[in-house]
Amino acid sequence: MFAAVDVHYLGDAGARAALVTAADSKFSVLAGGRTALVPDPGPYRSGEFYLRELPPLRAVLAGESGLALIVVDGYVDLDPRGRPGLGAYVQAEFGAPVIGVAKTRFATATHAAQVRRGQSDRPLYVTAAGLTIAEAATMVSEMAGPFRIPDALCRADRLARGTTVTIP
C-alpha cells in the first residue's frame, strides 16, 4: 500500500491529519482515505516543525502496516548533510521509504530535486529517504494528476481541511 499524508491545524481545536492510500506508486486509483483529530499537537517551534506534525501523523497512520511508501507534504531532510526534516522522522518511525514534496524552496535544501508538473513553471522540491532523490523525483513526476501538485497530495490536503472528498 502507498500512502500520502497531510496535516491541517484547526486553531484551538487541534489538528486534523489525513491519509489517502493507493495500490500503486502513481496513486492512479485511490483505495481509501481517513482522518484523525489530535486535540493538542503542541506549539510551533522554529526548526522543530516535526514535533508538531508527528502526533497527528501517528494518529492517522495508526494500524497501517506494510506500507511501501509514504509521501509527505514537506522536506525529508533540510540540507545536503542530512539535517532531518519531517520526512526523516516519519521514515525513522514508520520504517517505510518516504518522499517529501515541498511547494516552497527551503534555503538550505540545495540538494532537493526540482520537479515541474502540469503547465506550472513553479517547481516542487523533492527529497527522499529509503530511495534516491532521483527515483523520488521520477515517481513524483509520474504521479496521477494534471496539475503541479499530485492528486494524492491534493486529496490529503482537502481531507485534512475537512473538505468532502470522494475516495472509493
As to burial, measured by CB atoms within 10 angstroms (0-12 exposed, 13-18 middle, 19+ buried), residue 10 is middle
pLDDT profile of the chain (168 residues), mean per 10: 96 92 96 93 77 93 93 96 96 96 96 97 98 98 97 96 70
Q: Determine the pLDDT at residue 165.
A: 60
Which domain CATH number covers 16? 3.30.2170.10
Q: Is 168 part of a structural domain of the chain?
A: no
Asked whether residue 27 is assigned to any structural domain, the reply reads yes
pLDDT at position 142, please?
98
Enter the C-alpha cell of residue 97. 521509504
- What residue type is 40 in one-letter code? D
- Closest Cα partner for 68 from 2, 139, 15, 131? 2
At which residue does the C-alpha cell 502513481 appear?
26
Range of the domain at 83: 2-161
Domains: count for the chain: 1
